[in-house]
Amino acid sequence: MPVGNVLKLDEYRDRRLSRLLRAKVLLAYDPTRTALHEHLVEIARSSGSDRVAAVWMDEYGPGLVHPYLVVDALSDRPRRSFSPESLHRAWERGVPGVYDRAVDPEAPVGTFSIALGSDGARGWFVVAESAKRGAPLDQAARQRVMFLAGECSALVLHRDLDDPGAPSEEEAFAGWQILRDLDGFEADEQRARDVHARFLVGRLVRMLLEDDLVMA
The contacts of residue 65 (CB under 8 Å, 6+ apart) are 55, 56, 57, 81, 82, 83, 84, 87, 214
CATH number at residue 153: 3.30.450.40
Both 63 and 155 in one domain: the answer is yes
Together in a domain, 150 and 192: no
Residues 16 and 50 in one domain: yes
47 in a structural domain: yes
Q: What is the pLDDT of residue 199?
A: 75
- Whether the bond between 96 and the residue before it is cis, its omega within 30 degrees of 0, is yes
Q: Return contacts of 41-45, CB within 8 angstroms, 24+ apart.
A: 41/71, 42/144, 42/148, 43/126, 43/128, 43/145, 43/148, 43/149, 43/152, 44/71, 44/73, 44/128
pLDDT in tens, the chain (216 residues): 455 566 565 655 666 677 777 777 777 778 888 899 999 999 988 888 888 999 998 877 777 888 988 988 887 788 888 888 888 888 888 888 888 776 555 554 567 889 998 887 788 999 998 877 666 777 888 889 999 999 999 998 876 555 555 445 444 455 556 666 667 777 778 878 887 787 777 766 766 666 555 544
* Residue 2 included in any domain: no
Provide the domain count of the chain. 2
What pairs with residue 53 in β-bridges?
A: 70, 127
Query: 76 and 182, same structural domain?
Result: no
Q: Would you say residue 56 lies in a domain?
A: yes
63 and 157 assigned to the same domain:
yes
Range of the domain at 181: 169-210
Same domain, 154 and 173: no
pTM across the whole model: 0.66
